[in-house]
Amino acid sequence: MTPKLDGLETRPGQVWGSVRLVPLVREEPVPHLRLHRKAYEEPVSVVDVGDAVYVSFVPHAFVATWSDGDQTQGASYGTRLLERDTRAAPPSVPVRFTRRMARKAGKDRLRFLPLHLAVEGYLALHFGGPEIAWEEWSRRAVAHGLSPRGEETYLGRQVRGLEDALRIFEIHPGQCGVMVYVGDALACAFVVPHPDDYRALHPTLVEDLFGELIFVYGLLGAPAGDLSAPIDDTEIRSLGDLRTAAELRQEEWAGFHDRVMAGRLFDEDGSRQVVQYLHGFELSRFLPSFAPHQENHIGETITDDGGRVAYLKSFRLSEAQVKRGYLLKRLAEHDWRLGAAAAALGTDEASLALRLERAGFGYLLRQDVLDRYRAAKRATRDPRTGRPPDRVPGRGRSGG
């Protein structure tokens, strides 16, 4: 069931440079659910998901060790040369160990790491790799799948203008969420059940993860477009007329925003996985269909028994991340048979193999196979221009 933003009303956006914040307001808070932030003093947190294949280190991959003194956990850092018999403990920083991405912290409490649940779902996409040892795949691909699997993100405070916008813009009465746009590209959606929760968590948006596209748009600093709709003053005869016209423009803006600007947030062709249940609420994550050249968002939600969103946090994938998800999805749909996947994509095996290499998955293919595909592609290119024959000027294109 696709999550629904029922009960949330869109208010006019506020613009600061390239950043546009669109408030989401509830008439009534979602009952029986509250969210709050738990901050730890330790500078490092390590997350272990037990026997699962995927393990995430938050925020950096340090080595967790036990100190000799008080038996507390620490993360070692720095490089040193030591004598063989030296037993001195290496320098370390305190570290908090959390056992799972989402776990119950009591009979009526659930602890989870914001956005890491969604990112885990994307990184774990077909993580196991080929299920059948077809000859094209390397030993590493068959034995270890896509391990290790990593993606690059940016903190909100690295997105130019976002921190200033969050500090300057007003919080509306009843506001329980916000849509963040940078350069009029939807960067993320954030929704909580209660206005008090939003006031407490509003500043944490600068600690969220943002993709490369949003970082670049902030860096460019192109101003957001003027989406205001003027009021025809020739039809205004009284304050009542002005109020009616303003309310009409507000309704038109809300409809345009929800239908056009935020229309791709939830992908009807995507997937959703429930992670936890708690007193009638579901904590779940969603993945898009990875449609190329379109918006694709991953995210996590808490919904009530009617599918209404009480909590939402999303992350917009970059075009490169969409391509990686798309390739993995198509390979899995065809049982990782390179020829069948290539035929479905309307290309040949060599082109698909080189496409996988450009996407960062070259290590999945045997080196000799990859070299053979490279040689085959070079052989089909015109020696004078380096282009495929169907692109050589004067020869025209092949039909079909």
Query: Which residue range forms the structural domain that includes residue 12?
Result: 8-31+152-319
Give the 3-state secondary structure of residue 379: helix
Could you tell me the two tokens for 309?
């969103």
Phi and psi angles of residue 330, each rounded to the nearest 5 degrees, phi first: -70, -35
**Shared-domain flag, residues 315 and 342:** no
How far apart are alpha carbons 349 and 352 in whole angstroms? 5
Q: Is residue 64 part of a domain?
A: no
Per-residue pLDDT, 70: 46
Residue type, 80: R
Q: Is residue 145 part of a domain?
A: no
**Shared-domain flag, residues 292 and 347:** no
Per-residue pLDDT, 185: 94
How far apart are alpha carbons 211 and 68 in whole angstroms? 40
**Shared-domain flag, residues 160 and 14:** yes
**Shared-domain flag, residues 304 and 347:** no
Nearest CA among 25, 28, 33 for reference residue 199: 25
> Are 159 and 218 a contacting pair, CB within 8 Å?
yes
**Shared-domain flag, residues 222 and 350:** no
In the chain, what is the straight-line distance between the N-terminal and C-terminal CA atoms, in Å? Answer: 40
Could you tell me the two tokens for 313?
């946090």
**Shared-domain flag, residues 182 and 275:** yes
How far apart are alpha carbons 279 and 281 in whole angstroms? 6
**Shared-domain flag, residues 160 and 302:** yes
Contacts of 220 (CB under 8 A, 6+ apart): 18, 183
Alpha helices in the chain (DSSP H): 116-123, 139-144, 162-168, 195-201, 212-220, 239-256, 319-333, 338-344, 349-356, 367-379
- Per DSSP, which regions of the chain are E strands? 8-10, 14-16, 19-26, 44-47, 57-58, 64-66, 73-76, 92-98, 102-106, 109-112, 154-155, 175-182, 185-191, 209-210, 271-278, 281-287, 297-303, 309-316
Per-residue pLDDT, 110: 57
How far apart are alpha carbons 187 and 161 in whole angstroms? 13
Helical pair 349-356 and 367-379, crossing angle rounded to 10 deg: 120
**Shared-domain flag, residues 311 and 185:** yes
**Shared-domain flag, residues 312 and 343:** no
Kindly report the pTM of this predicted structure. Answer: 0.74
Q: How many domains does one find in the chain?
A: 2
- Return averaged pLDDT per consecutive 10 residues of the chain, 400 residues in all: 84 92 93 71 48 38 36 46 50 49 53 69 78 78 75 90 93 95 94 91 89 92 83 82 85 88 92 83 90 92 88 92 93 91 92 91 88 83 58 41
Compute CA 65 distance to the chain's CA centroid, rounded to the nearest angstrom: 31
**Shared-domain flag, residues 157 and 242:** yes
Q: Is residue 274 part of a domain?
A: yes
Contacts of 126 (CB under 8 A, 6+ apart): 146, 328, 329, 331, 332
Per-residue pLDDT, 81: 44
Q: Is residue 206 part of a domain?
A: yes
Nearest CA among 125, 117, 124 for reference residue 333: 125
Per-residue pLDDT, 215: 93
Q: Is residue 77 part of a domain?
A: no
Per-residue pLDDT, 89: 54
Q: Is residue 333 part of a domain?
A: no
Per-residue pLDDT, 87: 54
- Sign of CA pseudo-dihedral 321, 257, 199, 30: negative
**Shared-domain flag, residues 184 and 265:** yes
Nearest CA among 9, 4, 5 for reference residue 27: 9
Q: Is residue 376 part of a domain?
A: yes
Pairing label, strands 109-112, 154-155: unpaired
Per-residue pLDDT, 220: 92
> Are 250 and 282 a contacting pair, CB within 8 Å?
no
**Shared-domain flag, residues 346 and 297:** no
> Are 193 and 311 a contacting pair, CB within 8 Å?
yes
Nearest CA among 176, 228, 175, 197 for reference residue 20: 228
Per-residue pLDDT, 190: 94
Q: Is residue 400 part of a domain?
A: no
